Amino acid sequence: MYWLLIFILATYSSQNITPINKDMDIIEVITYPTIPVILEFDPKVGDREYDVYDIELPEGWVSNSPARFQNPIRIIITPPDTSAGLYIIPIRFIDEYEINPLPPKTVLVYVDVSRDLFRIRTEREITGNYKQPVRFRVEIESKAPSTYIIEARSYNNRFLKEVYVKDRYGQLIEFIYPFEGDFKIDLEVRPKYSSTMKYKTEIIARIREDIFMDFQAYKYGALLYFQQNSVIASILNILYQLFNR
């Protein structure tokens, strides 16, 4: 009987595998496209042990090259970007000892590949003053540790960043617009190693000329410009420069 250690990225669990019959065991694993599954087997059976293994992978899947005489036997299998649903992967263990070897042992790995890897939360609409910082936040919740690409584009603005998310992550993004108007922000979040799992949305930035927004913007630093025909804005800017030398 095997003791199996299952590693899915940073997640660890162990369980006793009960064979369906004397020749076969079943393992059930949940993972996500491009997220590797790491399996470790104890090769010992009594005072003997299995030496090598053969694995039959579905099309597009990859695994590490079989190594001989490992203890434990470590197998890494990775589903492709387009995978989804349930896959059955046979692993056959072999004892190469010539005298009275252990009978071959087959383990069936049932891998359920879910495409529900991550969730995104962000604003649908933001407001701000032109030529001053306007900000919005992107929250990522990931069901497995993974690297993500955050990209946002708008008029004269672009944000691009690679982040590692273990479970939750928040990113603050700041844009500046040169004049008043309603601007569309195209936001895309995707796992680094996947081209098929993407989150896309549009955020509307409503940009106006508002002296009160200017005053609030002082917490980010001096105003970036003097509003035309605005004596109050000019005075505020001069006072800021005087008291922050």
Q: Domains in the chain, start-ordered, CATH in brackets?
A: 3-113 (2.60.40), 118-213 (2.60.40.10)
pLDDT digits (tens, 9 = 90+) for 200-234: 999 999 999 865 555 555 444 444 444 444 455 55
Measure the N-to-C terminal CA separation of the chain; round to a whole number of Å.
75
pLDDT digits (tens, 9 = 90+) for 118-137: 999 999 999 999 888 999 99
Those residues with Cβ within 8 angstroms of residue 155's Cβ, 6 or more apart along the chain or in another chain: 177, 183
pTM over 0.75: no
Q: Which two tokens stand for residue 52?
A: 């090598």
Q: Is the pLDDT of residue 159 over 70?
A: yes
Strands of the sheet with 11-16, listed across from one edge: 11-16, 3-8, 37-41, 73-78, 62-63
